[in-house]
Structure formats: structure tokens, C-alpha cells
Amino acid sequence: MIDRIARIGRSGLEVARSFGRSGLFLAGVLAGFPRTSAGFALLVRQLYAIGVLSLAIIVVSGLFIGMVLALQGYTILSDYGSEDAIGQMIALTLVRELGPVVTALLFAGRAGSALTAEIGLMKATEQLSSMEMMGVDPLRQVVAPRLWGGFLAMPLLAMIFSSVGIWGGKLVGVDWLGVFEGSFWGNMQASVEFLDDVMNGVIKSIVFGFVCTWIAVFQGYDCVPTSAGISSATTKTVVYSSLAVLGLDFVLTAVMFGSF
């Protein structure tokens, strides 16, 4: 019994230590925002690696999710003769919820795991140590451009996801199922508020982008520098990011839309 309590206590201490380490790590990285032209070039390279190279999965997923939403929405709304509201339904669902959340989950799986593996491998092959010994801070040189790159890329990817999703919904709803195009766009325009819906979605994606990238770079930097350690860190990145995104989504939704 005492052993079990001691084990729980040890695990609690380890979690607290990990939070402390990640907080200190974040402070060090945030201070390393690229200010020089060389730092800006590193940031642009990471925006390409994290953002542009994630475009394919974001666009394809957004398209199919928009199409599925249109099909499901049409089936339900046509029972009530309200299929004209399909544009409004698709836009609100994507902009408020699915855009930021699904983009964040895909981002964690595609870019987050890659960031963790890359930094972890640099640690295992002593590249980070060699940088330190050259008088170059790896937090500034390696981690900061990746964190800021992820932070900036995520809201843009979420916006692209929602836009493509709406277009996919239009393809199915209007071009295939025959919903009147004027109602599709008109209802959407009338019901989607820029500040209440679009900006809240953008705020969500900014928060998710920050948390997912923080988890990814920290797991890579803090991993045990062995193949098993990198594998475990990559798994943790995807699991922790997904849980954090879903949990934070509930909290943010409650704060943004919970005033009943």
C-alpha cells in the first residue's frame, strides 16, 4: 500500500518536474524570436517545412470533410425542408469547430511528429551538443524558428482547411444535390459573423498551434537520445497534442459560446 502511494507520488513529482522543465524551455525559446536576417531565413524555412508541406493533407482533408458535411446535412435538413440552410451549417461547423480542431489534429500528426523526430534525432546524434560547443544556442538556432513557424502556420492552415471545406460542401450541396446557389451563399453570409465566428475560430487555431508546436519541440528536446526514446517522444507528441487540443477546444468553446 505504502509502495503504491510512493509510486503515485513519484509519478506526480515527475509530471510536475516535466511541466517545470517545459515552462523554462518555453521561456528560453520565446526569448529567441528571430531578429536578424539569418534568423528570419530560418523562420521562413520552417514555415515552408511545417506549413507548405502540410498543405496537401490539409486541403484533401478539408475537401472531404466539407463534402461529407454537405451530404449529411442535406439528408437531415431535407427532412424538414430546410436544405437551403446547408451553406450556413457547413460554414459555421467548419469555421467554429472542425477547421481549428481537425487542422490541429492533422498538424500534430504530420508536422508535430516530424518536429519531435527531427529535434530528437539531432539530440541523439550530438548535433545539438556540437552547436552548444560552438557557442551557438540550439534553443535560438533550432527550436525557436520551429516554434514560431508552427505558431504562425497553424492559423493559416486552419483558414485554408475551412475555405476548402466550404468549397467541397458547395460542390456536393449545390452542384450535385441541387441546392439553390443563392440560398447556399446568402444564408452563409447572413449567419456567419466575422468577430463571433471567424475570429473565434482563428483564436482557437492560434492557441492550438501554439500548444501543439510547444509540445512537439519540447518532446524532441527533452527525449531520451536513443531510438526507443525518440519513438516514445514522437508518440507522446501526437497523444498529448490531440488530448490538449480536444480539452482546450471544450474550454475555449465554453468561454466563447457558452453565454446561454
Partner 1 sequence: MASDPYITLEDVVFSRNGRPIFDGVSLSIPKGKITAIMGPSGTGKTTLLRLIGGQLKPDRGRVVVAGESVPELGRSALYRLREKMGMLFQSGALFTDLSVFENVAFPLRIHTRLPEDMIRDVVLMKLEAVGLRGARELMPAQLSGGMTRRVALARSIALDPELIMYDEPFAGQDPIAMGVLVKLIRDLNGAMGLTSVLVSHDVPESLSICHYACIVADGRVIGEGSPEQLRQHPSEQVQQFLHGYPDGPVPFHYPAPAARADWDICEVSS
Q: Which is nearer to partner 1, 92 or 142 (CB)?
A: 142
Residue-wise burial string across 110-145, b where 16 or more C-beta atoms lie within 10 A, e elsewhere: bbbbbbbbbbbbbbbeeebeebeeeeeebbbbbbbb
Encoded one letter per residue, x for contact with partner 1 by CB under 8 A and - for no contact, window 35-74 reads: ---x------------------------------------
Q: Which is nearer to partner 1, 35 or 79 (CB)?
A: 35
The span from the CA of 239 to the CA of 244, in Å, is 8
C-alpha cell at 260: 446561454
Cβ atoms within 10 A of the Cβ of 90, count? Answer: 30
Q: Is 1 in the site for partner 1 (CB under 8 A)?
A: no
C-alpha cell at 247: 480539452
C-alpha cell at 119: 529535434
Q: For residue 198, give the DSSP letter.
A: I
In one-letter notation, the amino acid at residue 168 is G
* Shortest distance in whole angstroms from residue 131 CB to partner 1: 8
Residue with cell 521561456: 27
The span from the CA of 4 to the CA of 14, in Å, is 15
Q: Is 229 in the site for partner 1 (CB under 8 A)?
A: no
Q: Which is nearer to partner 1, 75 or 129 (CB)?
A: 129
Name the 3-class secondary structure at 214.
helix
Q: Which is nearer to partner 1, 139 or 179 (CB)?
A: 139
Ramachandran region, residue 81 (left: φ > 0; alpha: ψ -120 to 50; beta: rest)? left
Q: Which is nearer to partner 1, 75 or 227 (CB)?
A: 227
**Window 127-166: residues binding partner 1 (CB under 8 A):** 127, 129-130, 132-137, 141
Per CB under 8 A, the segment of 87-95, 108-116, 122-130, 215-223 that binds partner 1 is 122-130
* Shortest distance in whole angstroms from residue 135 CB to partner 1: 4
Q: Is 126 in the site for partner 1 (CB under 8 A)?
A: yes
* Shortest distance in whole angstroms from residue 182 CB to partner 1: 52
* Shortest distance in whole angstroms from residue 134 CB to partner 1: 5
Which residues, 6+ apart, have CB-to-CB distance to 214 below 8 Å? 22, 26, 147
Q: Is 26 in the site for partner 1 (CB under 8 A)?
A: no
* Shortest distance in whole angstroms from residue 15 CB to partner 1: 19
The span from the CA of 70 to the CA of 135, in Å, is 56
Single out the residue of 125, 226, 227, 235 in contact with partner 1 (rule: CB under 8 A).
125
Residues that bind partner 1 (CB under 8 A): 38, 125-127, 129-130, 132-137, 141
